[in-house]
Amino acid sequence: MLFFTQCFGAVLDLIHLRFQHYKAKRVFSAAGQLVCVVNPTHSLKYAPTRCAAAQASTEQGILPACHHHEAVHDPQLVPCTCPLFSCPWEGHLEVVVSHLRQTHRINILQGAEIVFLATDMHLPAPTDWIIMHSCLGHQFLLVLRKQEKYEGHPQFFATMMLIGTPTQANNFTYRLELNRNQRRLKWEATPRSILECVDSVISDGDCLVLNTSLAQLFSDNGSLAIGIVITTSKVHSSEAEM
Amino acid sequence: MLFFTQCFGAVLDLIHLRFQHYKAKRVFSAAGQLVCVVNPTHSLKYAPTRCAAAQASTEQGILPACHHHEAVHDPQLVPCTCPLFSCPWEGHLEVVVSHLRQTHRINILQGAEIVFLATDMHLPAPTDWIIMHSCLGHQFLLVLRKQEKYEGHPQFFATMMLIGTPTQANNFTYRLELNRNQRRLKWEATPRSILECVDSVISDGDCLVLNTSLAQLFSDNGSLAIGIVITTSKVHSSEAEM
């Protein structure tokens, strides 16, 4: 009997997932856009103290004092950049992606334009929605975080990090777009390098920031669809063109 | 001597204003865009209590209980919609614009695309930057407000209101755009009618919201340039086009 109940639950889950996927496709119906349903993860690390000294990131692939365990002795090694866990892993920048996939089970998607569909936006802060995104020969980490900067007032922060150096990151532009209820919000910026640490980017507020009421306006049945486009950035003539 | 000092001060002010205007033109260099320097006004009214019952605005041009003085007896009359003052004036919707210009000295600008350059962003909250904008045969009120929703954490709220009924407002779309430091933020929405009261739009957070750090990233020497475009809205196919 228990077996049948579980089977029935699993089938219901699948139908729900399929329905969410269909809904996102309907909203973002441009041909060829991949919709990825991203489930939330309750952050297990103690965010505020992590990355306190991460601002001083360098071009050499070192992430100074950006994790809890002992200091990195080999300057070629970077610590685990997963924003969810205080993970003792360290390795070369080139193997960060496979570590994130294998150890932290973060999905990776292909394509320059994807739709990130974050489910269960109502869950209490701190909560993260994370995915890796492979395009233009590089891998990016998209982080959506629900966090209470001001107690009792959760906000949503979304940013894109390049799994690479800050110099490499300067070659790209990413755009996050919300579009619903006759409202549209677009954020466009140069991705940061994961060597700069996602926590400090979010605490600086240098990302897409949504208060709860705006997040609700853009959500559909508790899910928030974020359209993502990554392009190689030309010389920034964009400031003049408006 | 005092006279010469004052003259010198006035000349310096003029040079400063000219310089700000030039800077804004440089950033928003698209031909034909009008740059308007808007100085801040410290809000004199007691914002939180005003418009408590404004949600129930109707199509008939009545603004129910949206001001401090006695109730409006003639349903054709609307109270003063200036967000700055608790003004006892009331009149027909058609004469709101001339009241705002004459009594509250709010400037009016022509053109579908303008640049709103708000100066002195560092001033403490509550502060408003207000202008009227005439295009497509209608008048709009642009309000940028610095307000502390959470004590000690001022935020900036920008919205556009049509000086007309909600039905008329549904025919338009406005876009606010910030563009600086390789970052771009765009907010696009249907303007609200001034009958709905700007205070409630801002307290609902259904507008462009900027925290202090983002406002600083987009500011240039204490001034924030907001590009404004108003268009007539077609049937909202925009949700599908992304």
pLDDT digits (tens, 9 = 90+) for A114-159: 898 999 999 998 889 999 999 999 999 999 999 998 888 899 999 9
Is pLDDT of B67 > 90?
A: no
CA dist A206 to A189, A202, B118, Å?
9, 6, 21
Give residue B153's pLDDT.
85
Per-residue model confidence (pLDDT) at position A68 = 37
3-state secondary structure of B182: coil
Tokens of B23: 């800077």
Q: A200-211: b or e for each residue (b if 16 or more CB lie within 10 Å)?
A: bbbbbbbbbbbb
In a domain, B99, yes or no: yes
Which residues of chain A, if any, have pLDDT below 70? 1-33, 42-76, 81-86, 234-242
Instruction: Determine the pLDDT at residue B18.
Output: 55
Q: Which helix (H) or strand (E) element contains residue A186?
A: strand A183-189
The answer to whether residue A222 is domain-embedded is yes
Q: A75 to chain B, minimum CA–CA distance in Å? A: 30
Name which of B182, B218, B233, B241 to mutate to probe chain A: the one with the most chain A Cβ atoms within 10 A of its Cβ: B182
Could you report the predicted ipTM of this complex, rounded to two decimals? 0.74
On average, the pLDDT of chain B sits at 76
Which residues of chain B approach chain A closer than 8 Å at the C-beta?
27-30, 33, 149-150, 153, 173, 177, 179-180, 182-190, 204-206, 209, 211-214, 217, 227, 233, 236, 238-242
Residue A156 inside a domain? The answer is yes
Shortest CA gap B242–chain A (Å):
6
Tell me the per-residue pLDDT of B1-51, one tens digit each, with 9 for 90 and over: 556 656 565 555 555 545 555 554 444 444 456 777 777 776 655 444 344
Give mean pLDDT, residues B100-128: 88
CATH number at residue A34: 2.60.210.10
| Tens digits of residue pLDDT in B162-214 | 999 999 999 999 999 999 999 999 999 999 998 888 888 888 889 999 988 89
pLDDT at A6: 63
- Flag whether A84 is in a domain: yes
Quote the pLDDT of residue A52. 38
The verdict on pTM exceeding 0.80 is: no
Count up the domains in chain B and report the number. 1
What pLDDT score does A84 carry? 61
* pLDDT of residue B105 exceeding 60: yes
Give the residue numbers spanning the domain of B113: 29-41+74-231
Q: How far is CA A148 from the centre of its chain?
A: 17
Collapsed DSSP state (helix, strand, coil) of residue B31: coil
Confidence of residue B234 (pLDDT cuts 50, 70, 90): low
The Cα diameter of chain B in Å comes to 67
B52 occurs within a structural domain: no
**CA–CA distance, A177 with A183 (Å, rounded to integer):** 11
Residue B236 has pLDDT above 50, yes or no: no
Q: Per the domain annotation, does A140 fall within a domain?
A: yes
**A75 vs B220, which has greater pLDDT?**
B220
pLDDT 10s digits, B134-165: 999 999 999 999 999 888 889 999 999 999 99
In a domain? residue A237 = no
Please report whether residue A155 resides in a domain.
Answer: yes
Question: Taking CB atoms and an 8 Å cutoff, what residues of chain A touch B30?
Answer: 240-242
CA distance B91 to chain A (A): 31
User: How far apart, in Å, are the Cα atoms of A54 and each of A65, A76, A160, B162?
Assistant: 7, 16, 17, 46
CB contact under 8 A, A206 and B213: yes
CA distance B4 to B8: 6
